[in-house]
A and B are shown apart, each in its own frame.
Chain A
């Protein structure tokens, strides 16, 4: 009898330490000991998270999150999801997440206030146009004359201003839903999103719209790289980077990308 209790206690202890076996990098560095707290958007959008349920591991970011957690030595049960807005992510106080994953583009300015992991995805920017402008050619010259819109908090705003330099001032919105409404109401011709988001919006949300082109992701100036956002100086960054780098080298990240973002090829490049 006492032996069984001993075994039970032992296996329980084993279970508890199992999460961070072998004094793993992330030990003592997370918000809650033995848990990995990840923030996502509210709501989180397809194809990054399916059905607004990151716990399912369905969707690109959700899948990457679980893969990174596994690489860092956490089990699926150790992953805790919270929701956060962009403003919560950059506010100066204590954060309620270890890492925040919601298509945050890495920029030098942002990097001064928060820390970013190595990029987990390089997003080509794409142009989504409404039903009235689907004939627009994918050239900068043709795009200049469009009436533009974008989500004000994204790097698309800078891209429109620096690459396209449209004749009319762009209109800016609070979120994707408002941009959709403006395209549907024909108040703007086109909007700039990262390619996967643009494809989703055109296929599901905005009737008659079309993704007419993408900017080459590799061209160094306008590559939009998504990183996991962390509090400035978070010691966890080294562990997250290590895990992501391992996943890049092993091809895990590429296969997750192929699984969830396979549609992103086949959209013409903008010249």
Chain B
């Protein structure tokens, strides 16, 4: 057994500290070089002044930002009621596709058809078709609101993806657990509810976080059928000022929300990897 040194660092530790310092200096220097290149070279390009005026116009940003924030509340609202609906419908579809009983075969067919159709069709087509099509059948107000039917379009599309993720989660629970639970006398339903699902859902939380982030951005697609959410509001300002800066403002607002959410999803994913290994 090696005798610990009385004081100070070992040679190894000193060497490692030196290495760390060296890589820190290199990282800092290369970062400074890249940033300096961007800051110096980009403004030297002949079109920079025009691009800056069109995309990074402080005056336009200041004028439009508060209204953009207001409009973002519409996104938050649509998101807030769509997300739980997607989780529930997605889980139901996943369960339908997992139905084992021969009598429930039509349900499996339905589940498969549902995911095939709504994953395969562009979201914007679904939004148009359901957002204009169903109200066009002659529904009275307020039941023909684009908010209702547009949200439904999002719910249908996203629950197809979410169902597939849940299904992967359900499949990830080893069959031996089902067998063991059944042999203890639990019914199929109890096995699914108390044994499989709790594990399956936990396993897919990080993947579902990514769906939430994607949904958060796709809420903007509802602007095609009328709701004035942040994307449409930015478009209105774009036309008014003939300037693209409002889109940059909208992007900033999106980033403020999505960056923490993405980091959180990464963190969950990393934690899951640690737990598994």
Cβ A178 vs Cβ B242 within 8 A: no
Residues of chain A at interface, number, CB under 8 A: 34
Considering the chains assembled together, what is the distance between the CA atoms of A228 and B244 in angstroms? 21
B225 within 8 A of A: yes
Q: Specify which chain A residues have a CB less than 8 angstroms from the CB of B223 in the assembled complex.
A: 152, 172, 174
Q: Which residue of B lies closest to A105 (CB)?
A: B239
Q: Specify which chain B residues have a CB less than 8 angstroms from the CB of A31 in the assembled complex.
A: none
Cβ A113 vs Cβ B228 within 8 A: no
Q: Which residue of A lies closest to B239 (CB)?
A: A153
> Which of A114, A186, A188 is in CB contact (< 8 Å) with B242?
A114
> Which of A91, A178, A188 is in CB contact (< 8 Å) with B54?
A91
Q: Which residue of B lies closest to A109 (CB)?
A: B241
Binary A-proximity of B145-169 (CB < 8 A = 1, otherwise 0): 1100000000000000000000000
A-B contact list, 23 entries, CB within 8 Å: A87-B238, A90-B54, A90-B238, A90-B244, A92-B53, A109-B240, A109-B243, A110-B240, A113-B53, A113-B243, A152-B235, A153-B235, A153-B238, A157-B236, A158-B240, A173-B226, A174-B224, A181-B128, A185-B132, A186-B144, A187-B132, A187-B145, A188-B226
B174 within 8 A of A: no
B67 to chain A, nearest CB (A): 11
Considering the chains assembled together, what is the distance between the CA atoms of A178 and B124 in angstroms? 13
- CB proximity to A under 8 Å, residues B90-118: none
Q: Which of B232, B239, B241 has the most CB of A within 10 A?
A: B239
B203 to chain A, nearest CB (A): 40
Q: Which of A86, A171, A178 has the most CB of B within 10 A?
A: A171
Cβ A170 vs Cβ B228 within 8 A: yes
Q: Specify which chain A residues have a CB less than 8 angstroms from the CB of B136 in the assembled complex.
A: 181, 184-185
Q: Specify which chain B residues have a CB less than 8 angstroms from the CB of A185 in the assembled complex.
A: 132, 135-136, 144
A212 within 8 A of B: no
List 10 tightest A-B contacts by C-beta distance, closest first: A171-B226, A92-B50, A153-B239, A185-B135, A92-B54, A110-B242, A185-B136, A113-B242, A181-B132, A90-B242
- CB proximity to A under 8 Å, residues B238-264: 238-244
Please judge, given known A-B contacts A172-B232, A172-B236, whether A93 and B226 are in contact too, CB under 8 Å: no
Considering the chains assembled together, what is the distance between the CA atoms of A157 and B139 in angstroms? 27
Q: Specify which chain B residues have a CB less than 8 angstroms from the CB of A184 in the assembled complex.
A: 132, 136
Binary B-proximity of A95-118 (CB < 8 A = 1, otherwise 0): 000000000000101101110000
A171 to chain B, nearest CB (A): 3
Considering the chains assembled together, what is the distance between the CA atoms of A112 and B243 in angstroms? 10
- CB proximity to A under 8 Å, residues B202-225: 223-225
Considering the chains assembled together, what is the distance between the CA atoms of A173 and B222 in angstroms? 10
Cβ A171 vs Cβ B228 within 8 A: yes
Q: Specify which chain A residues have a CB less than 8 angstroms from the CB of B135 in the assembled complex.
A: 185-187
A124 within 8 A of B: no
Residues of chain B at interface, number, CB under 8 A: 32
A149 to chain B, nearest CB (A): 7
A167 to chain B, nearest CB (A): 14
Cβ B132 vs Cβ A182 within 8 A: yes
B32 to chain A, nearest CB (A): 29
Q: Specify which chain A residues have a CB less than 8 angstroms from the CB of B128 in the assembled complex.
A: 181
Considering the chains assembled together, what is the distance between the CA atoms of A147 and B244 in angstroms? 29
Q: Specify which chain A residues have a CB less than 8 angstroms from the CB of B244 in the assembled complex.
A: 87, 90-91
- CB proximity to B under 8 Å, residues A135-170: 147, 149, 152-155, 157-158, 169-170
B47 within 8 A of A: yes
Q: Specify which chain B residues have a CB less than 8 angstroms from the CB of A110 in the assembled complex.
A: 240-242
Q: Specify which chain B residues have a CB less than 8 angstroms from the CB of A157 in the assembled complex.
A: 236, 239-240
A104 to chain B, nearest CB (A): 9
B274 within 8 A of A: no
A186 to chain B, nearest CB (A): 6
Considering the chains assembled together, what is the distance between the CA atoms of A132 and B55 in angstroms? 42
Considering the chains assembled together, what is the distance between the CA atoms of A187 and B135 in angstroms? 7
Cβ A182 vs Cβ B226 within 8 A: yes
- CB proximity to A under 8 Å, residues B44-85: 47, 50-51, 53-55
Supply 14 further A-B pairs (C-beta < 8 A) apart from A152-B228, A171-B226, A185-B132: A92-B50, A93-B50, A109-B242, A112-B242, A113-B243, A114-B242, A153-B238, A172-B232, A178-B225, A181-B132, A181-B136, A182-B225, A185-B144, A186-B141
- CB proximity to B under 8 Å, residues A5-47: none
Considering the chains assembled together, what is the distance between the CA atoms of A90 and B235 in angstroms? 13
Cβ A92 vs Cβ B51 within 8 A: yes
B241 to chain A, nearest CB (A): 5
Considering the chains assembled together, what is the distance between the CA atoms of A222 and B138 in angstroms? 35
Cβ A93 vs Cβ B146 within 8 A: no
